[in-house]
Structure 1
Amino acid sequence: MGFSLNHETREVFVRLKALFFPEVPYGVARKCLALSAVVAFYTVAYMYLNEATFHGEKFYTVALPFEKDIPFVQELVPSYIFVYFLVITMFLALDSDALLSEAVKTFLVCMGIHLAFFYFMPVMMTERPHLVPNGNLWHDYAAFWYWVDKPTALFPSGHVSMSFLSAYYTRRIHPRLGNFCLVCAAYVGVSVVLIKQHYIADVVAGYLLATVSYLVFKRLDAKKEVGRPVRFETEEIAEGRKAA
């Protein structure tokens, strides 16, 4: 039972906790370290591929014929960062070693699939409006994100898959909060289409990838655990494991 880490990895966690979070409870420190590692990995890899594929020569299209008629709604641009709040909410909600382990593995595999698609099947958004800052808050905010995030590395939508994965895991612990997060995830899916960041196919693929990944790892980890996973072990227990 517990977080499936080998002795050496546990020792790394304990030392990093002592270095960066000396006064923070052990479980919280581990969640912070796991969150930082997952977000850093995906952000760096995504930004690299986003820039690299933008200068490529071959792109695929997944656009539906009617998508060019979908309006651009700049007021929905703030939803672009909702995914970060959903991910943070999930990590705060996780209450056991086993769930933290399962969530991290699910996210990393899901991210790996995303990055493979971004590299081998680059899709470019061709329906973006050309935005020049004009003093309007939402317009300028949209222009900023268009400048940061190039119109490539779209399929499947990382915003959608990470939002739904976060909502699924939050719902495992807090059903009511999780249901609210699912509504927020659906809102992200609609919004990224209306702000011309993703095609509908990107959103559907992101949702399916998140759902399948979640169900697969939930089933795999269920075979390893009996009953409810144990809660986060204390720092003293972790130190005892080290000594053993």
Structure 2
Amino acid sequence: MLERVGLTTGLIIFFITGYFSVGLSRDPADARELAVSLDAQIPFVAQSIWVYLSLFPAALIPLFVVRCPRLLRRTALAYAAVIATSLVCFMVFPVTSAKLRVPPTILDVTRPSDWAVSLLYSVDPPYNLFPSLHLSIAVLAAFSAWKAAKLYGAVMFIGVSVVAVSVCVIKQHFLLDALSGIVLAAVLGTLLLLPYQPESGVTPGYSWRGPVTYIAFLIFVYAGLYISYLSTL
């Protein structure tokens, strides 16, 4: 338990410190746009924000489904590697979604979805886009879940495909951001997670209680968001 707490705390601190330090220090004049013609054709769908927000609790899925300490350590290493690689990319190749995002004036914050989009835009700086780090971590979580139990991984990969759409229709990422995030995670997942094999007698994943506990955690997260929305009315 202490190891799980230590690994999780360290990764959260690494992610938050690095992500916001880089994002808030970028000079808009140095940032690029990676728009392709298809980006302009993708509609803005405010309701997809609820799918997008699942990226954050999804990063914690290995805590609920991975039982084997060796697999959890490999997962933590993969997370650290993708975070470090992404931070370097953010610094040397800054990309901005400032013009991609919908204007705040068209968002009606009295509506739950518009309020959530406005919250995302205000909290998350319009940088740190290429590759999509949030999507990379979600893909690695799916790899980890797959090694814990094929069923868990299959469900997670389906969820990631839906999330990949949401990062584009919420106008938070360009298509190239999403694709590069998936590729980065695929490479690191193949190198660090796929080679894992459980030792004899070791069960790599938790039983059904793990996913059920995660679902309860997810409900708690969304309930907190909805209560926050109600407090603004």
Into which bin does the TM-score normalised by the smaller protein fall?
0.7 to 0.9
Does structure 1 retain, via aligned residues, the 8 Å contact 2:109–2:118?
no
Equivalent residue, structure 2, for 1:37: 10
Q: 5 Å matches for 1:111-126?
A: 111-125=83-97, 126=99
Superposed CA offset, 1:189-230 (max 9, x none): 1000000000111111000100100111136x65xx784585
CA distance in 2, matches of 1:50, 1:78: 23
Percent identical among aligned pairs is: 21
Equivalent residue, structure 1, for 2:47: 75
Does structure 2 retain, via aligned residues, the 8 Å contact 1:159–1:188?
no
CA distance in 2, matches of 1:229, 1:163: 29
Equivalent residue, structure 2, for 1:171: 146
Residue type of the partner of 2:19?
Y
Structure 2, unpaired ranges of 5+: 205-233
Equivalent residue, structure 1, for 2:130: 155
CA distance in 1, matches of 2:200, 2:177: 35
Q: 5 Å matches for 1:40-189?
A: 40-53=13-26, 55-125=27-97, 126-132=99-105, 133-189=108-164
Quote the RMSD (CA, aligned, Å): 2.0
Which stretches of structure 1, 4 residues or more, deviate above 6 A after TM superposition? Answer: none
CA distance in 2, matches of 1:47, 1:228: 42
Does structure 1 retain, via aligned residues, the 8 Å contact 2:136–2:185?
yes
Aligned length: 201
TM-score normalised by the chain length of structure 1: 0.76
CA distance in 2, matches of 1:214, 1:190: 21
Superposed CA offset, 1:32-90 (max 9, x none): 2211211221112101111111x342122321123122111000112232122222221
Superposed CA offset, 1:127-157 (max 9, x none): 2111245411111111111011121110000
Structure 1, unpaired ranges of 5+: 1-27, 233-244
TM-score normalised by the chain length of structure 2: 0.79
